Structure 1
Amino acid sequence: MKLIIGNKNYSSWSLRGWLAVKQSGLHFDELTVPLLGEEWDRMKQDMGEVQPSSGKVPVLWDDDAVVWDSLAILEYCADKVGRERFWPKDEAARGMARAMVAEMHSGYQALRKELPMNIRRRVELPGLSDGAKHDVVRILGLWAEARARHGSAGPYLFGTFGAADIFYAPIVTRFVTYGIGVPGFAQAYMQAIWEHDWMREWITAAEQEEWVIEQWEAAV
């Protein structure tokens, strides 16, 4: 398999796809294509021949299968190795995890716009819009409920590392980058994500990248 991702410093969806394939335990080769550069333009042209949403990352190639979109990649990997590696065994926990992942996949537009992922950066925000504040409160509420109801087996949202953690990992990096104040339980969860071996690998690579996207550095 080959996974095409964007810059590790900036690409939140690439992080999700990469973590999903790492969680599968399957071997894969990794290709990083710098966003908004010449390689990016060439990739968009090439990818237009095999998938309709051309120019988006991540993309997973597995023989004749071409899978784009991070959630589709996660589900593709789950089908190959067993869904229990990604989703809780308990029915109620699994239902909540699926709902949280779906909400992350389609929601929180204000937060995404105002707090773009930028792992290397540390910024003191002058303030958040009401929409972004609502997103932060909603996310913290979901984290609290998941931990309280289903997190007794370990430090992650549903105890053991899984799909929900994969999808909320970029939110952890955003909260760190922009100094979002969170309660103690959320600090402990964020620390567990930040110190996960795969996250440390990703963060180290992001910090070593030389690519800079000025328009995203100037955000906020």
Structure 2
Amino acid sequence: MATLYIANKNYSSWSLRPWVLMTHLGIPFDEQLRVFGEGSNWDAFRRFSPNGRVPCLHDGDSVVWDSLAIMEYLAERHPGIWPSDAGARAWARCAAAEMHSGFATLRNACGMSCGVRVRLREVDAALKADIARINELWNEGLARLGGPFLAGNAFTAVDAFFAPVVFRIQTYGLPMEGAASAYVARMLALPAMREWYVAALAEPWRDGAHEAETLHYGEVIEDFRIA
């Protein structure tokens, strides 16, 4: 059985991607959670991950790091990772790659913190542009490929790539339009997403860097995590 190394479920958006995909599709794996420490995690995470980051998948003699590489590794071994239709698959890969390399302002100003609700101090032009592009991209996929998921009738890797954005929308109350709004509700109701969220709320750890980043950009108005 493969082993998936992840970090705190409350914060680790990159870890969520392969975890939610493998969980939703029923691909068996052993979860190994490593807690973010104050300052650099490099030395601790380098023990299992060549780049000192999460997620990292160990499968026999294979060690696969980076969420996109993990998706492609899984796609070579399991059905349903990407859409079966070539056109839908091409769109899904483009959208996932755009998420993987883009939306820097959204990442910085709206870091993932599943268990809190935050009122942003400012929504500047760059953040508005990222939110508008998410709306455009999601509505395009849902309309062109028929839904109810981004690339058709099944949850695939592109949905997993945007799963952290779904939690960010819930945390920061980001505005979604049209079919994208219903998509957010559908994603939050998925059993795998619910399982991650409940576990995130139950975590006792607080990472100073992540907490400070949240407070830099906004005001926490609700905290549903355990005391």
Which of 7-16 and 131-140 deviates more?
A: 131-140
Deviations 1:29-74 (A, max 9, x none): 10110012599455334246xx2x2x20001111100000111111
State the one-letter code of the partner of 1:166.
Answer: A
Which stretches of structure 1, 4 residues or more, deviate above 6 A after TM superposition? none
Matched, 1:6 2:7: yes
Deviation of the 1:118 alpha carbon: 0.2
How many pairs align? Answer: 212
Is 1:114 matched up with 2:115? no
2:128 corresponds to:
133
Output the TM-score relative to the length of structure 2. 0.87
Identity of aligned residues (%): 42
1:201 maps to 2:201: no
Q: TM-score, normalised by structure 1?
A: 0.90
Return the structure number with greater strand share. Answer: 2
In 1, Cα distance between the equivalents of 2:166 and 2:6?
19
Partner Cα separation in structure 2 for residue 163 and residue 176 of structure 1 = 21
CA contact (8 A) 2:18 2:71 kept: yes
Equivalent residue number for residue 67 of structure 2: 70
Task: Confirm or deny: 8 A CA contact 2:117 2:171 kept in the other structure.
Answer: yes
Distance (whole Å) between structure 1 residues aligned to residue 155 and residue 27 of structure 2: 16
- Please state if 1:162 is matched with 2:156: yes
CA 1:63–1:38: 2 relative to 1, 3 Å? farther
1:105 aligned residue (100, 104, 110): 100
For structure 1, the 5+ residue unaligned runs are none
RMSD (Å) for aligned C-alpha atoms? 1.8
Question: Aligned equivalents of 2:208 and 2:130: distance in 1?
Answer: 26
Write the distance in 2 (CA, Å) between the matches of 1:68 and 1:122. 31
Counterparts of 1:45-56 in structure 2, within 5 Å, are 45-47=46-48, 51=50, 53=51, 55-56=52-53
Give deviations 1:108-164, integer Å, cap 9, x for gaps: 111101100000010111322211111111111000100001024xx2112211111
State the alpha-carbon separation in 2 of the partners of residues 125 and 72 from structure 1: 33
Residue identity matched to 1:156: F
The unaligned stretches of length 5 or more in structure 2 are 218-227
Residue 173 (structure 1) aligned to one of 156, 163, 167 = 167
Q: Distance in 2 between matches of 1:130 and 1:38?
A: 31
